[in-house]
Amino acid sequence: MKVSRWNLVIKKEDHLILFNKLTNAILHVEPPKVEKVLSILNSKAIPDSEDEDIKMLKRGGYIIEDDFDEIDYLRVRFNMYKFNNRFLRFTIALTPLCNFSCTYCYQNQVFPIMRRNMPPSFHEDMIDNLLKAIEKMMMYQKPQLLSITFYGGEPLLELDTMIKLSDAFKKMCETHGAEYRPFMVTNGYTLTPGVADRLINAGMKSAIVTLDGDAEYHDKYRKLKNGEVTFSRIFENIKNIWNKMHIQIRTNVCKDNVESVKRMIKLFADEDIHVSFDFQMIEVSSELPSKFDGTPLTLKEFARTEVELYREVLEHFPDYDFNPFRRIR
């Protein structure tokens, strides 16, 4: 047997953390086993024995058979995904327009280009052509799943179009025996219970809503175009719909809002609102200047902060369904 080329070995005091980038397996090695595990991973040739530690490392992909080519395996996996016809996935940008004026949003910078190349809304011919193209692919590929992401700008500005398309996709999937899985990326400002009910009737059961912390921080950067604050209305919408539509809170994180994000998590817990959380790193590009005056995190800083924030989630939601790594089976 031989050692995988994709192992990441992190020494932390007298412990080891092993991560395999091919299998996504993670292993915490405690002091009694550290020297033995390091010895195995530093060996030129590893015996295929019944030793429990060797079996454990083999199971996680940290050591592999001599004739196993990891590059070939990656190539096969890539091609399987590339040519897989079991799933059809599309992202539909319904409009370049938005009712917010977020200081860090790249779309504020590229909007003039988008406006030249994309109409402010879908017209009937565009809807018909889109539906015909996707139905043709459904007939040809016979997928098990059709996944649609409705995006913008702000997709709820085109609510009627989104419902019309979602209704059509839902019926299309019923006709072709496929599962329909739509969701939208929204700022949540107009996602009222009435709007949510219309979307649910059209097959929409999930939404990603952006909140960048509690009201104090969020309202500094995510305002309406007229300058009005937005947190309280978005939070009230989520409070009224979370038990009938799955809501994922997407939060853009920098050095300045970590404590604010923790307060936001506690606010959801205090109100007994059960959502999922997705923390993203704010990246500032010199090619797309913005009015964002916060302090971005480096990738390494964000990695530590992300763990810190998910620990906060687990502290307030002990039964939170969260497992960042694939389980070893």
Task: Give yes or no: residues 202 and 279 share one domain.
Answer: yes
Task: Give yes or no: residues 52 and 90 share one domain.
Answer: no
Torsion angles phi and psi, residue 27, rounded to 5:
-140, 130
Task: Give yes or no: residues 24 and 97 share one domain.
Answer: no
- Looking only at the bridges linking them, the beta strands covering 2-3 and 7-12 are unpaired
112 or 25, which is more confident: 25
Task: Give yes or no: residues 62 and 134 share one domain.
Answer: no
Considering the domain boundaries, does residue 324 fall inside one? no
pLDDT reported for residue 328? 33
Considering the domain boundaries, does residue 325 fall inside one? no
The last residue of a domain, from among 63, 79, 95:
79
CATH number for the domain including 236?
3.20.20.70
Of residues 273, 92, 264, 104, the one with CA closest to residue 185: 92
Of residues 6, 39, 33, 44, the one with CA closest to residue 22: 6
Task: Give yes or no: residues 69 and 186 share one domain.
Answer: no
Q: How many separate domains does the chain show?
A: 2
What's the whole-number mean pLDDT along residues 198-208?
96
Task: Tell me the pLDDT band of 220, cut-offs 50, 70 and 90.
Answer: very high
- Measured CA to CA, the distance from residue 166 to residue 199 in angstroms comes to 8
pLDDT reported for residue 321? 82
Task: Give yes or no: residues 40 and 139 share one domain.
Answer: no
Question: Which structural domain, as residue segments, surrounds residue 310?
Answer: 84-316
Say yes or no to pLDDT of 113 above 80. no
pLDDT reported for residue 168? 97
Task: Give yes or no: residues 190 and 112 share one domain.
Answer: yes
Task: Give yes or no: residues 102 and 175 share one domain.
Answer: yes
Task: Give yes or no: residues 121 and 185 share one domain.
Answer: yes
Q: What percent of the chain has pLDDT over 90?
A: 74
Considering the domain boundaries, does residue 150 fall inside one? yes
Considering the domain boundaries, does residue 174 fall inside one? yes
Say yes or no to pLDDT of 206 above 70. yes
Q: List pLDDT tens digits, range 60-78.
A: 999 999 999 999 999 998 9
The last residue of a domain, from among 56, 79, 102:
79
251 or 325, which is more confident: 251
Task: Give yes or no: residues 95 and 185 share one domain.
Answer: yes
Work out the angle between the directed axes of helices 159-176 and 124-141 (0-180°, nearest 10).
20
pLDDT reported for residue 303? 94
Q: List pLDDT tens digits, range 155-201.
A: 999 999 999 999 999 999 999 999 999 999 999 999 999 999 999 99
Say yes or no to pLDDT of 25 above 90. yes
What's the whole-number mean pLDDT along residues 245-270?
97
The last residue of a domain, from among 54, 79, 104:
79
| Residue 57 and residue 40 in contact, taking contact as beta carbons nearer than 8 Å | yes
Task: Give yes or no: residues 121 and 36 share one domain.
Answer: no
49 or 248, which is more confident: 248
Task: Tell me the pLDDT band of 325, cut-offs 50, 70 and 90.
Answer: very low
Task: Give yes or no: residues 117 and 259 share one domain.
Answer: yes
Considering the domain boundaries, does residue 118 fall inside one? yes
Torsion angles phi and psi, residue 174, rounded to 5:
-60, -40
Say yes or no to pLDDT of 16 above 50. yes
What does pTM read for this prediction? 0.81
175 or 284, which is more confident: 175
- Measured CA to CA, the distance from residue 215 to residue 228 in angstroms comes to 12
